[in-house]
Amino acid sequence: MTTVTGAGDRSDARRNRARVLSAAGEAFAERGLDVPLGDIARRAGVGAGTVYRHFPSKHALVEAVFAQQLGELVASGERRMSRSAPTEAFFGFILEVVGTTRSRATVCDALDADASWPRPVLTATVARLHQLLETLLRAAQRDGGVRPEIGPDDVVALTVGCAAMLRVRHDRAAGIRLVRLTLDGLRPSAPVVTEGRSFRDNRGPHPAPACEQCGTVLTLRPTGRPARYCGAACRQRAHRSRPSP
């Protein structure tokens, strides 16, 4: 008897592929990339042959898992963009990316360590993610919620740094608090940093105090009157430049 391949078979194939991807993502996060494909097949409830039909190598499976995870992030970001105010959508998305990095850490580290992998699907998904990030950023800037000089590369670098910081914190709640404090630096209300220094009091951001003669940044005194000059030489120059009474 001849078996006719139809819509039902294709639907079964799609479901099996999704089950393998889900099982592989969980296994990689729990046990690393050394987990055998046979174990992934058992976790997914399919035969090993089904895994190999969809993913002929471990490399192909790892790439597909990561592409799916990034695709889910893109879909989540697009939903945020349609449902939330621009600034809320932007910061909410960055926090989501940072907060879910741990589940992708093993796969991400493997891809970073081996740049020779062919990854056309992954490349397309990463491009979609970067485009979404720029769209969210520009909308938040037009909304007045993010500094206008911030670019997409700045956001990517900051996101990577926040994710690394969160990964090494044992207290996740404390780590998220630090991430939020760091991301606050993107807001227009954050203090302006000049030559690595900044100054803020309870009234908001202010430039660091500087010598009235040469512009050298001054060290704040805990008591007494604020300094006006960096030293005796500038003080004398200022005195000589004063008009005679």
User: pLDDT means per 10 residues in the chain (245 residues)?
Assistant: 57 88 87 86 89 86 87 93 94 91 68 62 85 95 94 91 84 87 86 46 46 58 61 68 53
Global pTM reads 0.66
Predicted pLDDT of residue 201: 40
CB 62 within 8 A of CB 107: yes
Kindly list the domain boundaries of the chain, sorted by start residue. 57-186, 200-241
Q: Helix (H, G, I), strand (E, B), or coil: what is residue 206?
A: strand
Quick one: which of 44, 15, 166 has its CA closest to 101? 166
Q: CATH topology for 57-186?
A: Tetracycline Repressor; domain 2 (1.10.357)
The token duo for 199 is: 């100054």
β-pairing verdict for 199-201 and 204-206 = antiparallel
The token duo for 18 is: 């999704």
Predicted pLDDT of residue 207: 47
Distance CA 237, CA 245 (A): 17
Quick one: which of 148, 135, 240 has its CA closest to 190? 148
DSSP state of 221: P
Exposed / middle / buried, residue 140 (Cβ in 10 Å: 0-12, 13-18, 19+): buried
